[in-house]
């Protein structure tokens, strides 16, 4: 439990020692607030998502840089918690996860498969309307489908309802807004990232060192790192499977992005030997 909490701090001190010329000890200890726009410029954003506005991408022009920045302001702790390396790593992890969820890449794609994030804004050919009729708190509305939409591919009525309530839109009556309004789309992805669903931790807490493993987590080998974030996002389908192609795709995006941010990935990248939360 203690190691899970301290690991990101260890990387902070490593980052501090290698960049003392630009970041003093006093600044490190005080964790100065650095705006998201200072950590990811429009140029870096466009480099990360090289092909999001290609004609081949159904989401062409739907995910502009300014919409991401505007949505991030709704979650002031995102990308501003911890030391500089931790902040950059969290942003890279978030962008990697949404890239896999919306990827249009393939093995021989131009500039590589990990340059094609944010290519889709909604699920293509969903196998159901994603309505859990047993959830009485968030009842489905006739004729509505709660398929994957937006950067995180928000799915199911029990996610659309709470997301809408938290963000100020009717997710059950108007789920389509997630694929029609780019700021709201990014907000839903950040809402999912920042929200704890006990006993499931938030992705944010995992990436910034606030995750404390329970006895159940330890027994399930759920150790802090990018792999645990994948477990939170889609562990029921992807985790507990060594060398799963979907998990590897998420890792590939993360590795590319951390290089662009000039930070390391940290430990425990995959969830191949973790039990899922579901």
Residues belonging to the active site: 101
* Cα 67–chain centre separation: 16
- Alpha-carbon gap, residue 97 to 192, rounded angstroms: 11
**Widest pairwise Cα distance in the chain:** 60
What lies within 8 Å, CB to CB, of 7 at 6+ separation is 209, 224, 225, 266, 267
Number of neighbours of residue 151 by Cβ within 10 angstroms: 32
- Alpha-carbon gap, residue 259 to 226, rounded angstroms: 15
**DSSP 8-class letter at 2:** H
């Amino acid at each position: 439990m203690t190691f899970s909490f301290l690991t990101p701090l260890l990387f902070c001190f490593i980052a501090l020692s290698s960049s003392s010329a630009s970041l003093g000890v006093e600044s490190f200890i005080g964790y100065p607030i650095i705006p998201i726009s200072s950590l990811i410029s429009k140029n870096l954003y466009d480099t990360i998502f090289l092909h999001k506005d290609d004609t081949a991408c159904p989401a062409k022009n739907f995910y502009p840089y300014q919409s991401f920045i505007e949505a991030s302001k709704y979650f002031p702790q995102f990308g501003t918690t911890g030391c500089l390396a931790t902040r950059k790593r969290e942003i890279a992890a978030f962008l990697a996860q949404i890239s896999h969820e919306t990827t249009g890449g393939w093995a021989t794609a131009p500039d590589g498969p990990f340059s094609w994030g944010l290519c889709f804004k909604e699920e293509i050919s969903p196998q159901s309307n994603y309505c859990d009729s047993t959830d009485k708190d968030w009842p489905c509305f006739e004729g509505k489908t709660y398929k994957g939409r937006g950067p995180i591919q928000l799915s199911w009525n029990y996610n659309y309802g709470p997301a809408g309530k938290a963000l100020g839109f009717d997710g059950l009556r108007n789920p389509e807004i997630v694929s029609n309004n780019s700021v709201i789309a990014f907000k839903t992805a950040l809402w999912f990232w920042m929200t704890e669903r006990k006993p499931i931790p938030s992705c944010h807490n995992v990436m910034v060192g606030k995750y404390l493993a329970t006895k159940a987590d330890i027994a399930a080998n759920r150790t802090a790192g990018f792999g645990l974030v994948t477990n939170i996002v889609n562990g029921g389908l992807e985790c507990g499977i060594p060398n799963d192609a979907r998990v590897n795709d998420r890792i590939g995006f993360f590795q590319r992005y951390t290089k662009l941010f000039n930070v390391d990935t940290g430990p425990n990248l995959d969830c191949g030997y973790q039990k899922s939360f579901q």
